[in-house]
Amino acid sequence: MKRVKLRFTSSIDVDFTDRETAIKQLDNIAVRGTRHPIVVYGPEGCGKTALLKQAKAVFEDHGYHVIYINPLAREAQEMLEYTPSIKNMVRELLKLLPEHYSRIVDAAIGLVGEVMRRFPKPRIALLLDDVFQDVGLDKAEIYVKALLNLIEYPSGDYDRVAILVVSSEGVSRDRIGRHRWAAIKEVWNLPREGLNTLYDKLPSSSKPPFEAVWSWTGGNPEYLARLLEAGWRIDSIIGDLARGRKLDLFASRLSREEIDVLRLMVEDPDHLIKRLKEREAQELERRLIELNLVIYMHDREPDAWIDDPPPERDPELGIGKYYAWQTPLHREAVRKALETTGSSVI
Ligand SMILES: Nc1ncnc2c1ncn2[C@@H]1O[C@H](COP(=O)(O)OP(=O)(O)OP(=O)(O)O)[C@@H](O)[C@H]1O
Ligand SMILES: [Mg+2]
C-alpha cells in the first residue's frame, strides 16, 4: 500500500509511518463499506488527520470517490480534498456556497447525495475531520444521524459507502454513544517503534536520546514535532499546553477534594475510578475530558480500536486501565499547575 506524504514541520515531510493494523482495518472497511458511520476518538495530535489522509489513498485504491473535509484546517485548500473523478461536481457545488450550504459539512453531505444520483452504483467515502466543533457539540448527534441517513436512505443506488469521522474532543462521545447511529472507536498515540522511525528521520543536531523523547511524548507525533521546533525545550511546550487551557485558573478553582484526587491521578490516572462515587470527582472527570487532558479508555478489545490498542497499563506514560493522560506532557502540565496552586495556598 502506498504511504501518503505528510507535512511534519515547516521544513520536514514524512511518509505515513507505522499503523500497519490501521491500514489493514481501513482495507477491510473499504471492502465492505460501513453500515454505520465510524466515529474515531483519540488524543489531540495522535495522528487522526494523518489517518484520514492515508484512508483517502486506501479508499481510492478500492475505486471509491473520496470526499475529505476539515473545517478547522489552517489552509483553505486543506479544508476540502477529493478524488479527481468528482472535480466538476465539486466545482458546481462550491459555486452554491454559501447561499445553499451554510457549512462545508452540509455541502459535503449534499455532495455525497449528488454522487449517488449521478454515478451508476458508485463507491463513495466521506471522511470528516474534526467536524463536531464546527457544527456545534450540541448538534453532533444530529449530524451523525444525518450521516447514517446517507447510508440507510440513499438518494441513489450505490455499491458501497464508507463514512469515517475523527475527533479529539471527548464531550460529544457520550452524546453519540447513547444512540445506535454510529460505531465508536478509539485510536491511540504511535507505538514505540512508530515514534522511533519518525525520530530517526529528524535532524540529529542536539537531538535528545530516543528514550527521553518517548517518555515525554508517549508516542504522540504532534508533540514530537513541537518539541523539535521548540529546540527540545520541554518547559516551553508544557508552558504552551498550560496557557492554552488556562491550567493555572483551572487549578486555582479546584476544591481541596478535587486537588487531592488530581494529585493522586498524576501518580495513577485510575485513581479517579475509585473516587467516582463522589460528586466532586464526577465534575473533575468531566472537566479533565473537556480540557482534552484525560481520556476514558473503555476497553482494549481490538475491535474497539483503530490500530493496536495501547497497553493495559503503563504507569510511566500515565496510561491506566480506565483512564489515561493524553500524553505525559499533559500530565506534567497538570502537575506543575498543582504545584503552583499548592504553594499559593500555603
Ligand atoms: N502515522 C504517522 N506517520 C507520520 N507522521 C504522522 C503520523 N501521524 C501523524 N503524523 C504527524 O504528526 C502530526 C500530528 O498529526 P495529526 O495532525 O494527524 O494529528 P491529529 O490527531 O489530527 O491532531 P489534532 O487533534 O490537533 O487534530 C502531523 O505533523 C502529522 O503529519
Ligand atoms: Mg487533526
* Domain limit, last residue, from 186, 206, 225: 186
pLDDT greater at residue 216 or residue 340: 216
Does pTM top 0.85 for this prediction?
yes
If asked whether residues 65 and 158 sit together in one domain, one would say yes
- Residue 134 has what pLDDT? 85
pLDDT at res. 346:
41
pLDDT for position 39 = 97
Query: pLDDT tens, 199-247?
Result: 999 988 889 999 999 999 999 999 999 999 999 999 999 999 999 999 9
Give distance in angstroms: CA of 50 to centre of ligand 1: 5
Separation of 49 CA from ligand 2 center, angstroms? 4
Give the ligand with the smallest distance to the CA of 196. 1
Whether 63 and 119 share a structural domain: yes
41 and 71 inside one domain: yes
56, 135: one domain: yes
Whichever domain contains 89, its CATH number is 3.40.50
The distance in angstroms from the start CA to the end CA of the chain is: 59
Give the residue from 165, 186, 207 where a domain finishes.
186
pLDDT at 94: 83
Cα-to-centroid distance, 48 and ligand 2 (Å)? 5
- Number of domains observed in the structure of the chain: 2
179 plus 196 within the same structural domain: no
Q: What is the pLDDT of residue 289?
A: 94
The answer on 108 and 198 residing in a single domain is no
Please check whether residues 58 and 162 belong to one and the same domain: yes
Best residue for ligand 1 mutational test, from 1, 4, 6 (most atoms within 8 Å of Cβ): 6
Same domain for 255 and 305, yes or no, is yes
Same domain, 233 and 170: no
Q: Are residues 211 and 109 in the same domain?
A: no
Average pLDDT, the chain: 94
Q: Which residues line ligand 1 (CB under 6 A)?
A: 6-8, 14, 16-19, 44-50, 130, 168, 198, 221-222, 225
Q: Are residues 166 and 307 in the same domain?
A: no
Domain that holds residue 115: 5-186
As a whole number of angstroms, the distance between CA 48 and CA 224 comes to 15
Q: Lowest-confidence range among 38-52, 130-144, 150-164, 295-309?
A: 130-144
DSSP code per residue over 244-293? HTTHHHHHHT--HHHHHHHHHHHH-TTHHHHHTTSHHHHHHHHHHHHTTS
**Shared domain check, 9 and 145:** yes
At 239 the pLDDT is 97
Q: How far is CA 16 from the centre of its chain?
A: 16
Average pLDDT over residues 112-124: 96
- Structural domain ending residue among the three candidates 168, 186, 204: 186
Report the atom number in ligand 1 closest to the C-alpha of 224: 12
Query: Between β-strands 5-9 and 12-15, what pairing exists: parallel, antiparallel or unpaired?
Result: antiparallel
